[in-house]
Amino acid sequence: MSTATSPAPRKVTRPRADAVRNRERIVTAAREMFVEHGPDVPLDEIARRAGVGNATVYRNFPDREALVREVVCSVMDRTAEAAEVALTETGDAFAALERFVHVAADERISALCPMVSATFDQHHPDLEASRERVEQLVEEVMGRAKAAGQLRADVGVGDLLVVVAQLSRPPMGTDCLRGDRFVHRHLQLFLDGLRAPARSALPGRAVTLEELRTS
């Protein structure tokens, strides 16, 4: 009588710590250079800033599309984490919203957004998942401020995301880093306009996320 033997447990291969660090350095360097120079910056230059060899870049990201997608998703994930932090705060709901908006602006997602449609498939599952997570969390942050009577009722998530993107993008013809000096000043002016009670009626209606995706 034969006795069935259980298959040997499969070993889970985990990336080495130095490999993880190298990948993170590549993504960080790429994010910085995409913001400064656009998505066509040479991968050799990204490797040089990250302090790794060209082969390390291509081992982690087989092509430019994969690297750009990873950068955009990582920025969106950090934006989602900032929203999660805002949701854990038990104090002033509008103050939590303000802090989130300023952190989101620092991620410079506005400079990366044009690359989504220009560089790779904007409906890639990884990107869709990151985007949906951000939208849901931002809606919760805004919902808390509305429930507390602090955020005007006639604004939506789309309104907030559009303005954060526009205000954190340097004006055409200006130096990217010089423009950073004014981002948070102008964002605070916008945030003051979001407080309830509203001083005026807004024309039109709140921007929907569907409109943003199809425009």
What pLDDT is attached to residue 202? 86
Whole-angstrom distance, CA of residue 167 vs CA of residue 194: 15
> Residue ranges of the chain with pLDDT lower than 50?
173-174, 176-177
Give which of 109, 84, 91, 103 is closest to 31, Cα–Cα: 109
Q: How many CB atoms lie within 10 A of CB 20?
A: 11
Give which of 182, 158, 83, 72 is closest to 122, Cα–Cα: 72
DSSP secondary structure string, 44-94? HHHHHHHT--HHHHHHH-SSHHHHHHHHHHHHHHHHHHHHHHHHH--S-HH
Whole-angstrom distance, CA of residue 67 vs CA of residue 111: 15
What type of residue sits at position 75? V
What pLDDT is attached to residue 18? 84
Contact present, 126 and 174 (Cβ < 8 Å): no
| Exposed e or buried b per residue across 173-208, where buried means at least 16 C-beta atoms within 10 angstroms of its C-beta | eeeeeeeeeebbeebeeebeebebeeeeeeeeeebe
Give per-residue pLDDT as tens, 49-96.
999 999 999 999 998 888 988 988 888 899 999 999 999 988 899 999
- The SS3 assignment for 207 reads coil
Q: Is the pTM of this model over 0.85?
A: no
What pLDDT is attached to residue 213? 64
The neighbouring-strand residues paired with 195 are 151
Contact present, 136 and 80 (Cβ < 8 Å): no
